[in-house]
Structure 1
Amino acid sequence: MIASPPASQAVSLAIEAAHKQFSGNNDGKNASYIPYLASVPSHLFGIAVGFIDGTVIEVGDTSYEFAIESISKVFTLALVIEQIGAEALREKVGADPTGLPFNSVMALALHNGKPLSPLVNAGAMSTASLVQGKDAEDRWRQILNMQSRFAGRRISLSQEVNQSEQTTNFHNRGIAWILYSSGAMYSDPIEACDIYTRGCSTLITAKDLAIMGATLANGGINPVTKERIVQSANVPHILSEMMMEGLYTASGDWLYSVGLPGKSGVGGGILAVAPGKLAIAAFSPPLDEAGNSVRGQLAAEYISQQLKLNIFAPG
C-alpha cells in the first residue's frame, strides 16, 4: 500500500532547506563538450516538487529554461513503449544497465552490438529509430509532442542548442552505424541520430520537469491537464529503466542514497519519481564525472530522506 503524499508544508520546508544548504556547493563543472552547455551560468539552482494533484512547490531558479538533454530519453521511451509494447521494446533495445559511461562504445562491443538500455546514448538512438511514423519529420514531431504532453505545455526546440549538439555529435554518429551494422537500428542510422539529438535539444524548466515526473508518479496521467499520456501498465516498465540506468554509472549510488527512480541530463536537470506521491525536479549545471548535476543529486537525496520517500525503506 502506498502511503499518502507528504503535506505541502513539509515539502516546502524540505526544498527550502535543501536549496539553502547546497546553493554554496561549487563542486563539479558544466559540460564542456557541447558549447552551449558550457555557457550556462553555473550558479543557477532551482528545485520543484510536483504532486499527483497538480500542485507544484518551487524554490530558486525554477523558471530558467535549460536543455533537457538525456532526460528526453525517458519520454521517447514512453512514446515507443506505447506504440510497440513493453516486451517488443525489451527484446529490441534491452532493459539492463551497461555498467559503463552513457556514450560507451565498449558496452556495445561487449554485447554484440546490443545497446541493453534505452537510457544510454546507443539505446536511445535505437529507441528513436523505433518511433512509428511516415517519415523522419513525423517521428520528430511525435517525440516533441510527447514531451509537451508530459509537461502540460508546448515544449520547443532550441535551434541554438541543436546546432551546438549537431556539430559535435560525431561520436554518436559512429555509435549509430555500429548499431546499424549489428541489426539494432531500425531506421536510417543518421536519421535516428539526428532525431535523437533534436530530442535532447528542447528547453524545459524545473517546474516543467516536476510535472513531467508527477505524470509518471500519477500512473501516466498528467496531474495538471488530466490527460492520460501513458497506459498505467507501462509506467512500471519506464520507472524500472530509470532505476537501473537513470544516472548512468552513478545509478547504484543514487539508489543507495535516494531510493527513487531517477534520470539526469548533462544540461543540469535531475528528476526523481516517488510513485503514487510526487516527483522531485532540480536544475543546476555543474556536473560530476558521471555527468550528473552535483547540487541536484544532493538536493534529491536530502529531500527524499527528509520526506521518507525511499521506496526500499519500510513504511
Structure 2
Amino acid sequence: MNYQEIFQEISNELKGFDEIGQVATYIPALAKGNPNKFGMYLVTEEGHEYAHGDTEEPFSIQSISKVLSLVYAFKLVGTDLWKRVGVEPSGSPFNSLVQLEYEQGIPRNPLINAGAIVICDILISQLENPYDDFIRFVRELSGNPNIQYREETAASEKECGYKNNAHINLMKSFGNIDNDVEQVLDFYFYLCSIEMSCKDLAQTFMFLARGGKNPLTNKRVLTAQETKRINSIMLLCGFYDEAGEFAFKVGLPGKSGVGGGIVAIYPDQYSIAVWSPGLNSKGNSSKGIKALEIFTTITQSNVFGPMPIFDELEYE
C-alpha cells in the first residue's frame, strides 16, 4: 500500500476543512501554538516510515504521556494497579470532579487527569528517581536520546492547575494518594510537558502494535496479554468523552493530547501519529481526527475488520 500517496490524498481532502478548532488557551504555554501546523507520520510493522507535513517539529504531547506512564506503572506493580484506578470510559470531561467524588476517589480510568495523577503517585512510590527513570524509559522507546521535559510548560501548568489540585486533594481524602500531593502534582505536570514530534510518537508507540516488543531494541516492554489491556484502554478511554466517536469514525486504539497530537496503532500493522494544534470542544485535534478518519477509510484498516468498498468513498 502506498501510504505516501494516501497522505497526499488526505492533505488534498483537508484543504477545504474549515473546522480547524482553537488552540488550548487554558495552559498559557500552549496558547502560542499555530493552528495551521499539520503533520502525519506512520511506521509499519516492517519498519518502513512515511511522513507528510510538520512531522519532525517537537510539540507538547500533554495527555499522550498518560499512556506511557500507565505502561511503566503496569510493568512495576502488575494487576494491583486496578485496585486504585478503573478501566471504564468516563463519559465525562477529562477534568470532572463530580464523578470522582461519587466514586469515592477511584478514578474511572487511567487516561483522565485523576487517573493519571494516581499513576504518578504509584511511580513516585516505586522509582528511586522518577523524573530521570521515566524520561529514560520514553527515550528508549522512541530511539531519540534528546527527548526532554519542557520547564516552561510544566511551570505554566502548575500556575493554572487548580482543578488538578482539587482532584489530588479529593483523592487524598479518600486514601488513594500515598505521597505528598505537591510532589505528585509536580511530577504529573512534568510528564505532560514532554515534547515529541510525530516521528517520535509513531516510533514510541510501535511496541503496542507489535505485541509489547520494542522493535528498536527487540526488548519486551509488556507481555502480549498486558499489551492487549493497554490497547483496550486506549480504544475505550483515549479521547475522554469523545472516545466512542473516535472508535466509531476511526476504529483504532489511540490517545490524544491538548497540544494537538494524536497517536494510534493498528496491531501487527502500524503506528501512526498526527499533529494539528486546533482543538474541538472535547479537547481533541479537529483536523487530526478527520485525517485519521479519512486514513482508515481509504486503507480499510481498523480493529473492527475491513470496511466494504464503495464506488465513492464517504467520510461522514
Q: Deviation at 1:273?
A: 0.9
Unaligned runs of 5+ in 2: 308-316
* 8 Å contact kept, 2:101–2:170: no
Partner of 1:4: none
SS of structure 2 residue aligned to 1:171:
helix
* 8 Å contact kept, 1:258–1:301: yes
Give the counterpart letter for 1:58 in structure 2: A
Between 235-244 and 117-126, the greater mean CA deviation after superposition: 235-244
Partner of 2:73: 80
* 8 Å contact kept, 2:266–2:303: yes
Task: Provide, for residues 63-89 of structure 1, a one-character-per-residue CA deviation record: whole Å limited to 9, x for no partner.
Answer: 11100100000000000000000x211
Report 1:33-48 matches (<5 A).
Answer: 33-48=26-41
The answer to whether structure 1 residue 130 and structure 2 residue 122 are counterparts is yes
Q: 1:147 aligns with which of 132, 138, 150?
A: 138
* 8 Å contact kept, 2:61–2:257: yes
Identity %: 33
Task: Provide, for residues 144-203 of structure 1, a one-character-per-residue CA deviation record: whole Å limited to 9, x for no partner.
Answer: 222222212121011121121121112101111111111221322221111111000011
Distance 1:114 1:284 in 2: 32
Q: 1:281 aligns with which of 273, 277, 282?
A: 273
Q: Deviation at 1:142?
A: 2.2
Number of equivalences: 305
Distance 1:134 1:305 in 2: 43
Partner of 1:51: 44
SS of structure 1 residue aligned to 2:55:
coil
> Cα 1:22–1:121, aligned 2, differ >3 Å: closer, same or farther?
same
Q: Deviation at 1:134?
A: 6.6
> Cα 1:298–1:314, aligned 2, differ >3 Å: closer, same or farther?
closer
Q: 1:266 aligns with which of 236, 255, 258?
A: 258
Distance 1:314 1:48 in 2: 22
SS of structure 2 residue aligned to 1:64:
coil
Q: 1:93 aligns with which of 73, 85, 89?
A: 85
Task: Provide, for residues 121-153 of structure 1, a one-character-per-residue CA deviation record: whole Å limited to 9, x for no partner.
Answer: 000000111116577x71222222222222121
Q: Deviation at 1:314?
A: 4.9
Report 1:192-211 matches (<5 A).
Answer: 192-211=184-203
Partner of 2:57: 64
RMSD: 1.6
Unaligned runs of 5+ in 1: 1-6
* 8 Å contact kept, 2:62–2:191: yes
Task: Provide, for residues 199-251 of structure 1, a one-character-per-residue CA deviation record: whole Å limited to 9, x for no partner.
Answer: 00011000111112222101222223333333333111111110111011110
Report 1:287-298 matches (<5 A).
Answer: 287-298=279-290
* 8 Å contact kept, 1:273–1:279: yes
The answer to whether structure 1 residue 119 and structure 2 residue 111 are counterparts is yes
Partner of 2:151: 159
Q: Deviation at 1:284?
A: 0.4
TM-score (norm 1): 0.92
* 8 Å contact kept, 1:215–1:222: yes
* 8 Å contact kept, 2:40–2:272: yes
Give the counterpart letter for 2:23 in structure 1: N
> Cα 1:143–1:299, aligned 2, differ >3 Å: closer, same or farther?
same
* 8 Å contact kept, 1:268–1:283: yes
Distance 2:195 2:16 in 1: 25
Give the counterpart letter for 1:146 in structure 2: F
Task: Provide, for residues 234-288 of structure 1, a one-character-per-residue CA deviation record: whole Å limited to 9, x for no partner.
Answer: 1111111101110111100110111111100000001111011101210000000
